[in-house]
Amino acid sequence: MAFHTVGNYTFQWTDLHLPREKTDPLRHEYDTLGHDAVKKLQQIARELKGEAAVKPTLCPGGFDMYAVLRDHHTEDETLDRLWKEVHTVPEWVDWEQIERGQKFFYRYAAANMVGFLLQAFFGENSAAPGVIEVLMRTGGFSPKVLVRRLLETFQHLLQVTSSLESIQPGGQGHTTTIRVRLLHSAVRERILRLVETRPDYFDVATYGVPVNVLDSIHSITTYSCNPMWFQLPQMGVFPTEQEKQDYIALFRYVGYLLATPTEYFASVAQAKATMESLLLHERSVTANSLIIGHNLMETVKDMAPFHISEGFIEAGSRVLNGDALSDSLGLGRPGMLAYACWKGHCWFVRVLALAQKWIPGADEAAVRYFRMTLYDAIVNSRKGLGGRLSKMDFKYVPEMNKMTKREGSGRGLFAGSFVERPVETFYLAVFVVGVVFWIGIVSLIGRGLMRLLKLCVI
């Protein structure tokens, strides 16, 4: 079977891979149950506000969709079907496996977080035209609100991995995932409603329905498969087969809650083939990708407290996404210092992973530590969500004349020195120690060989 190379990744086509004839129609399929449910929820919300007679407005946000679903699902057949669906656990769900999958995120936390930001957001997301077209219209990728949006994405990621109870029906991660499903449906409903008034508002023929089934499958591969094949191995961390099975199983279940077909994630081999098929069919950089990529860079670079430099982001993105994609996304070419820091990061996460494997108790301790620290940093801290969990409200509402533009962050230029970039300073130190270590090893081997040579000559 044929080999394909996309960016810096090569794979062989197999019978499990999905030809275009199979994936293209999925662009026009979507979560009809969620869609119908959101319309019902909007109607109930209007009735509750005493506005039943008011014709549906073009701005259906401003109420807690999940609360209305929870409190009123028994009164309506569609809502009840949705409620029952998300509270029915599929027979393939194995809670022990899901729990192991949750630990995977924290076991390799530093590699996973950096991979998610630099590969999933910068590379995969920016080069997925259907997703980009939607994000351009919601405005969630404007630097003014992007930090909050990223924090909310991480909130969800932390909640679905925080504990087994959290992802089980009724738990926090479960509830937030249903909120996200309703949010996706509200965004879709809103864009489609605008299309009714002005058909050229969103090119449904080319990009499919907003937040469609194909884009959702793509997103689940980004969450669950990209760490296994695009991110961690490039940093020197190699997940085991068991870890792959477990993490993919976790996101198969998250995908189920988000109305994403689950058969594409039924095995590691199938999930990998799905990821590779979409890599081949879907990766494409448009003018709007450049805007989203630019805004992401503007938001993330130099942000307190870590002040990560643009060079470090570029170096990591280039290694993870390949030069061709990075060039087409307009990323600059950083100098040696940035690559040295990136190498330091890779050596650090590799040594950490090996230590967790070999030192008894280290793995549990690392999982516990990162579970607590990340939640504190992202949810509880003042620089994070300030202790207020997001309810994933519909706040970035598409408007007819609103389109995300290329914008600056509004922050002044970072004027600090290199040592005021603590993460990079640390990684540079790791790099220097690593180089000294390797020079030591090489000179030891060299000396040993010389001695051997002398003995042989004598």
Binding residues for ligand HEM, per CB under 6 A? 131, 134-135, 138, 140, 149, 152-153, 156, 180, 183-184, 187, 211, 215-216, 219-220, 223, 254-255, 258, 260, 392, 396
For ligand HEM, the closer CB: 277 or 309: 277
Question: At which residue do the structure tokens 């004839």 appear?
Answer: 21
Our CB check for ligand HEM shows the closer of 288 and 309 to be 288
CB nearer to ligand HEM: pick between 158 and 338: 158
In degrees and rounded to multiples of 5, residue 231 shows phi and psi of: -105, -70
Q: Which is nearer to ligand HEM, 156 or 294 (CB)?
A: 156
Which is closer to ligand HEM, CB of 216 or CB of 309? 216
Distance CA 444, CA 371 (A): 40
How far is Cα 398 from Cα 57, in angstroms, rounded to an integer? 13
Residue with smaller CB distance to ligand HEM, 149 or 272: 149
Closest separation in Å from C-beta 32 to ligand HEM: 16
Determine contact, residues 346/235, Cβ cutoff 8 Å: yes
In whole angstroms, the minimum distance from the beta carbon of 56 to ligand HEM comes to 20
Neighbours of 21 (CB within 10 A): 7
Q: Where are the alpha helices (DSSP H) in 24-142?
A: 32-48, 65-72, 77-87, 95-107, 109-115, 129-138
What CA–CA distance (Å, rounded) separates 319 from 49? 53
Closest approach of ligand HEM to the CB of residue 156, in Å: 3
Q: Which residue is nearest to ligand HEM (CB)?
A: 140
Distance of closest approach, residue 205 Cβ to ligand HEM, in angstroms:
17
For 37-56, give the DSSP string. HHHHHHHHHHHHTT-TTSPP
- For the bound state, the minimum distance from the C-beta of residue 105 to ligand HEM, rounded and expressed in Å, comes to 13
Cα separation, 330 vs 323, in Å, equals 10
How many angstroms separate the Cα of 111 from the Cα of each of 23, 107, 155, 208, 258? 31, 9, 18, 33, 26
Least distance CB 241 / ligand HEM (angstroms): 24
Closest distance to ligand HEM from the beta carbon of 383 (Å): 17
Taking the least distance from each CB to ligand HEM, the nearer of 177 and 309 is: 177
DSSP letters of 297-343?
HHHHTT-TTT---HHHHHHHHHHHH-HHHHHHTT-----HHHHHHHH
Structure letter (DSSP) for residue 89: P
Cβ contacts of residue 429 below 8 Å, gap of 6+? 344
CB of residue 299 vs ligand HEM: minimum separation in angstroms?
13
Q: What is the DSSP letter of 385?
A: T
Which is closer to ligand HEM, CB of 187 or CB of 353?
Answer: 187
d(CA 286, CA 221): 21
The CA distances from residue 164 to 83, 132, 362, in Å, are 20, 33, 21
Nearer to ligand HEM by Cβ, of 294 and 343: the residue is 294
Minimum distance from residue 139 beta carbon to ligand HEM (Å): 7
> Which amino acid appears at position 212 of this protein?
N
Closest CA to 70 of 91, 84, 89, 52: 84
Length of the chain: 458
Rounded to a whole number of angstroms, the minimum distance from the CB of residue 31 to ligand HEM is 10
Whole-angstrom distance, CA of residue 300 vs CA of residue 313: 9
The separation between the first and the last C-alpha atoms of the chain, rounded to the nearest angstrom, is: 58
Question: Minimum Å distance from CB 452 to ligand HEM?
Answer: 58
In the complex with ligand HEM, the residue whose CB is nearer, 38 or 428, is: 38
87 or 402: whose CB is closer to ligand HEM? 402
